[in-house]
């Protein structure tokens, strides 16, 4: 008697679906699944170790950043890091001049978001602008949520 005979029918169908999708007839699926799994594991471990908030955003950027080509994935990852560092630096400058003025932050965040959305759709490296848009919009909301600048800086980093 097989172990599958004792399982409910929906579970058997789900297992059959996974077996079909990850079989050898579809080359490349298993390595990409392992790559996503290891990437998620690393992001979660690093986020928990350094107590980084908004782990879901980090995972969303990871899912958008992993490509089918290894070279392109590394290239996009490097650009993600560079673009995010530049965006965080610009957020600190915006905080410096408009920490107590929500309207100024809103006026600044609008064109940044629209520009990033446009470049996400038109540029070949649109994934980089996705990361910049997420950092820009969430970074602009932190001063409105919190009263302490030190906590805002920690959330931004």
For residue 44, the model assigns a pLDDT of 92
Same domain, 61 and 9: no
Same domain, 148 and 100: yes
Same domain, 66 and 1: no
Write the DSSP assignment of 61-126 as a string of letters.
HHHHH--SSHHHHHHHHHHHHHHHHHHHHHHHHHHHHHTT-HHHHHHHHHHHHHHHHHHHHHSTTH
- 95-140 pLDDT, tens digit each: 888 888 888 888 888 898 899 889 988 988 787 888 888 888 888 8
For residue 98, the model assigns a pLDDT of 84
For residue 118, the model assigns a pLDDT of 92
Write the DSSP assignment of 55-75 as a string of letters.
HHHHHHHHHHH--SSHHHHHH
For residue 3, the model assigns a pLDDT of 74
Rounded Cα distance, 126 and 124, in Å? 6
Mean per-residue pLDDT for 28-57? 85
- 105 touches 140 (CB < 8 A): yes
For residue 20, the model assigns a pLDDT of 83
Rounded Cα distance, 22 and 7, in Å? 21
Same domain, 42 and 74: no
Same domain, 78 and 149: yes
Instruction: Please say if the pLDDT value at position 27 is more than 90.
Output: no
Same domain, 117 and 67: yes
- 89-103 pLDDT, tens digit each: 988 888 888 888 888
Which of 22-26, 34-38, 43-47, 152-156 tops mean pLDDT? 43-47
Which residues, 6 or more positions from 57, have their beta carbon under 8 angstroms from its beta carbon?
134, 138
For residue 19, the model assigns a pLDDT of 83
pLDDT band at 41 (very low <50, low <70, confident <90, very high): very high
**Residue 144 sits in which domain range?**
53-157
For residue 33, the model assigns a pLDDT of 81
């Amino acid at each position: 008697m097989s172990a599958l005979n004792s399982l409910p029918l929906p579970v058997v169908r789900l297992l059959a679906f996974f077996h079909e999708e990850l079989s050898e007839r579809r080359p490349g699926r298993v390595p990409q699944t392992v790559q996503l799994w290891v990437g998620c594991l690393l992001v979660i471990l690093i986020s928990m170790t350094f107590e980084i908030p908004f782990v879901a955003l980090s995972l969303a950027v990871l899912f958008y950043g992993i490509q089918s080509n290894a070279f392109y994935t590394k290239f996009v990852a490097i650009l993600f890091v560079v673009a995010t560092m530049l965006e965080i630096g610009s957020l600190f400058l915006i905080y410096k001049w408009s920490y107590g003025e929500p309207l100024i932050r809103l006026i600044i965040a609008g064109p940044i978001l629209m520009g990033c959305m446009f470049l996400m759709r038109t540029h070949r490296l649109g994934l980089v602008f996705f990361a910049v848009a997420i950092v820009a919009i969430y970074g602009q909301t932190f001063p409105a949520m919190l009263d302490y600048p030190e906590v805002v800086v920690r959330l931004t980093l």
